[in-house]
Each structure stands twice: as structure tokens, then as C-alpha cells.
């Protein structure tokens, strides 16, 4: 991995990018694969650091992981270790999702504390209470989480918030539990459905009901399966915005239209010309862009991961734009870098641009007002996380003067070969 990227603005970004499956999908499929009685194969796998981290975690508990290009095969462990080693503490969010599978395989589990991007608190209480509802004894220690159970039992689980991670944990834990589990107030993001479909191919009995309910009838065993990941909707949107921001046009291949409905409509409302067919999508703005008000939300709302590229795009839209983040309380860690690069952005703790959210009347800074059109300038910035990193990259591509971006390992952890993809679009990007 490179230590830093040096970006010299080189005009409009143009060309074609093919997106692979998302890091958020592939890693969860890898966890599900350890529950099968035979190997599972996942295709259209991105080359991202999180896959390597997850492969290391699974190998440590006794599974085997083999990769051949864009294909990944996971063979379940024959001699299972019930503990994920402490060396994986804080690297990503995968260990907590292994609690249920390890309980199925061994009756006990230990996982170290979770990690991931700096988005605010990542409470583990949803996962802990879920397992307790299914009959496990769970203890949270300073080092991680310990759990024990002879066999998980089906139960009615009410999630306090439609958390993607907690819903995925419930699917993985309930698939082989004894009896029926009902998950109320579940997340319905495409990645959640994708995981459920993979588990169904493995033999799980899963139904999606109205009102955010998922019903799972536990089965005694699952088999290995094969699946192809759907295109990463966040990467697709990020590259579309990169083209718009630099007054160019990027053709994105490999992501279905139904995964970007809200995002595409947002760009159209801002004045972008959008073209979509069964293979690809493009967006251009020959007449410029206008301001907009956007509120992030759980699916099918505007995805929280989309707010980092749209924030940069707001700096090049005529007028005052508003962004209201309702999913994570500390998602604006990347804004100081954009301000340093000339973005005129003010942050507020009040709910702006939409209805009052769960952060209403708190001290969490979760709304932004952006004035455009701003002249962006090159700067030296530190990238704090995966999604924030891409905002700095595209800002640097549209800036007046060179930029040095440090912390690019975050980008390489979450995007498929980002440096190569950006160079193919004409960006002058050097590593060092």
C-alpha cells in the first residue's frame, strides 16, 4: 500500500469504470460461508483490504480461504477455534458478526472489539441483546465479547433502530437456531437482502414481510453455495460524482439502476443529465448544477455513504445546499479537509433540510450548509476513513493546484483498485 497520493488536477475525468461487489457485502458472505457443510464460492469480489482482513480472521478460526482473481472460495472449518485472536481487534466490524456462527459451531465464542470507519459510536448492545434474546449468555469485557450457548433458540427480536449490522447478525444467528425468529424493525438495504439470498441458497428458510419484518425458520444444517455479488452502489455513485465535479462524464458499468434510484434522482434535481440502460449509467452537467437539500436515511432513502461525495458536489452547485445526516452522529469528520481545500461549509447540531431526526436536541453536529460555487484549492490533508477519503480525492481532482493525500490505506481498504481506476479516467495521480 502507498503512504500517500499526490494529485495534480488534469481536467475533466472521462472514461469507463466497472464496479465490483461491495466490501460490505463480500465480507458478510464470507462469514455466512463458515456455516455451510461444504465450500462456498463468491464471485465478482473486489480487491480491497477488508477482504484480506476477513480472510485472516476466518483462517484464524480454522476455515480456509482461496482467491483466484475475482473469485473467492471459503471452506468451513473442520477443527474450529471458538476465539477470534486479539490481533484482529479494531481492524473492521466482522468479528462481532461471527458470534452467532461460532455459537452454532462450538457452543462458545470470543471476539475482540469492533473497528471500522470513524462514523461515531458503533454500539455493540444491539448485537449483545440480540444474542441474549436467542438464549445466549453474553459478557462484554474490555477486550471484547464472550458468549456461550448449547443451541440458540428462535425468538421475537425488536431492533431499536433498523441497523444493517444488527440485522445481518440476526440473519447469521437465527439461520440455524432452533425454532422461528422474527426480526422486527429490520434494515432492508440491498446488502441485507443480498446476504439473505445467499443464506437461502445455503438452505436457510427466510421470508421478508411488510413493515420491516424478517421471519427465519431455523434449520439444523446449511450447505455450501455459489453466488455473484451485485455491483457496489456507493462506488458507482462516487465515480458518477467524480465526473460531474470535474465537468466531465464517467460511464459506470456493473451496478443495477434499482440500487441507485434515490441517488440518480438527486443528481437530476440538481440539473444533471442522467442516462441509464441495462448495462451502464452516465451523468453530465453541461449547464452547471444547482443547489439541493438532502437528508440521509435508511434504505430506501438517500444512503449515508453517498453524503460524502454529494457534499463535495454541493461546493460546485450554484446556491446554498443543505445536508442532514440522520444515520450516524459523527459522519462529518472529513469536512475540515474540504474546508481546508476551500469548501464553504458550515456545520450545525440542529436538524436542517428535513424532519427532526433521532439526533434532534442533542449536541451532535449532523447538518451542513454548503455555499457554491466555491473555488477549491490544492492542499495536504489526512484521510480519516474510507468514504471520507473519496471526497478528498474528487475535491483534489477539481482543485486549483496539486494536493497530497495521506492515509490512503483507508481508500485501498474499501475501494477496488482506486488508484488504477482514477488514472484510467485521466487523473494525474502518483503514489509515494
Query: Where would I find the beta strands (DSSP E) of 135-253?
Result: 137-140, 144-148, 156-158, 180-184, 205-209, 213-217, 226-228, 249-253
C-alpha closest to that of 57 among 29, 32, 23, 86? 86
Handedness of CA 289, 291, 293, 294 (dihedral sign): positive
Q: Look up residue 23 and give its three cell numbers.
A: 466490501
Handedness of CA 173, 179, 180, 181 (dihedral sign): negative
Q: Look up residue 424 and give its three cell numbers.
A: 484510467
**Residue 117 a catalytic site member:** yes
Going from the C-alpha of 143 to that of each of 57, 58, 139, the distances in angstroms are 16, 19, 11
The catalytic position among 3, 50, 79, 117 is: 117
Give the largest CA-CA distance in the chain: 64
C-alpha closest to that of 303 among 348, 246, 248, 241? 241
- For residue 418, the cross-strand partners are none
C-alpha closest to that of 81 among 53, 112, 60? 60
- 3-class secondary-structure state, position 280: strand
Q: Look up residue 38 and give its three cell numbers.
A: 461444504
Q: Which residues are tagged catalytic?
A: 117
Amino acid at each position: 500500500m502507498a503512504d500517500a497520493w499526490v494529485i495534480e488536477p488534469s481536467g475533466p475525468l472521462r472514461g469507463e469504470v466497472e464496479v465490483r461487489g461491495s466490501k460490505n457485502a463480500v465480507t458478510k458472505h464470507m462469514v455466512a460461508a463458515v456455516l455451510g457443510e461444504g465450500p462456498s464460492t463468491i464471485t465478482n469480489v473486489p480487491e480491497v483490504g477488508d477482504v484480506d482482513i476477513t480472510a485472516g480472521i476466518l483462517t484464524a478460526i480454522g476455515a480456509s480461504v482461496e482467491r483466484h482473481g475475482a473469485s473467492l472460495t471459503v471452506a468451513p472449518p473442520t477443527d474450529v477455534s471458538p476465539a477470534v485472536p486479539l490481533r484482529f481487534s479494531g481492524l473492521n466490524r466482522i468479528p462481532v458478526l461471527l458470534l452467532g456462527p461460532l455459537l452454532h459451531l462450538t457452543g462458545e465464542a470470543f471476539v475482540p472489539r469492533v473497528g471500522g470507519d470513524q462514523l461515531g459510536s458503533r454500539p455493540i448492545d444491539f448485537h449483545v441483546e440480540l444474542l441474549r434474546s436467542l438464549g445466549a449468555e453474553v459478557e462484554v469485557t474490555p477486550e471484547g465479547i464472550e458468549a456461550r450457548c448449547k443451541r440458540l433458540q428462535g425468538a421475537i427480536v425488536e431492533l431499536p433502530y433498523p441497523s444493517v449490522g444488527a440485522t445481518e447478525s440476526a440473519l447469521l444467528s437465527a439461520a440455524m437456531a432452533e425454532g422461528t425468529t422474527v426480526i422486527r424493525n429490520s434494515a432492508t438495504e440491498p446488502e441485507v437482502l443480498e446476504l439473505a439470498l445467499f443464506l437461502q441458497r445455503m438452505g436457510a428458510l427466510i421470508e421478508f414481510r411488510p413493515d420491516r419484518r424478517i421471519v427465519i425458520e431455523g434449520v439444523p444444517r446449511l450447505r455450501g453455495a455459489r453466488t455473484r455479488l451485485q455491483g457496489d452502489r456507493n462506488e458507482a455513485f462516487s465515480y458518477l460524482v467524480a465526473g460531474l465535479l470535474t465537468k466531465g462524464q464517467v460511464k459506470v458499468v456493473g451496478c443495477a439502476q434499482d440500487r441507485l434510484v434515490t441517488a440518480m434522482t438527486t443528481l437530476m434535481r440538481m440539473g444533471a443529465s442522467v442516462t441509464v440502460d441495462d448495462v451502464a449509467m452516465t451523468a453530465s452537467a453541461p449547464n452547471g448544477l444547482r443547489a439541493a437539500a438532502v437528508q440521509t436515511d435508511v434504505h430506501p432513502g438517500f444512503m449515508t455513504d453517498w453524503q460524502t461525495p454529494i457534499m463535495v458536489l454541493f461546493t460546485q452547485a450554484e446556491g446554498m445546499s443543505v445536508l442532514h445526516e440522520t444515520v450516524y452522529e459523527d459522519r462529518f469528520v472529513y469536512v475540515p479537509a474540504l474546508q481546508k481545500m476551500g469548501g464553504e461549509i458550515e456545520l450545525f447540531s440542529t436538524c436542517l433540510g428535513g424532519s427532526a431526526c433521532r439526533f434532534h436536541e442533542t449536541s451532535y453536529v449532523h447538518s451542513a450548509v454548503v455555499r457554491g460555487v466555491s473555488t477549491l484549492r490544492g492542499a495536504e490533508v489526512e484521510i480519516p476513513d474510507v468514504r471520507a477519503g473519496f471526497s478528498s480525492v474528487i475535491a483534489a481532482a477539481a482543485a486549483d493546484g496539486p494536493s497530497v493525500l495521506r492515509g490512503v490505506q483507508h481508500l485501498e481498504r474499501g475501494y477496488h483498485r482506486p488508484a488504477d481506476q482514477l488514472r484510467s479516467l485521466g487523473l494525474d495521480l502518483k503514489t509515494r
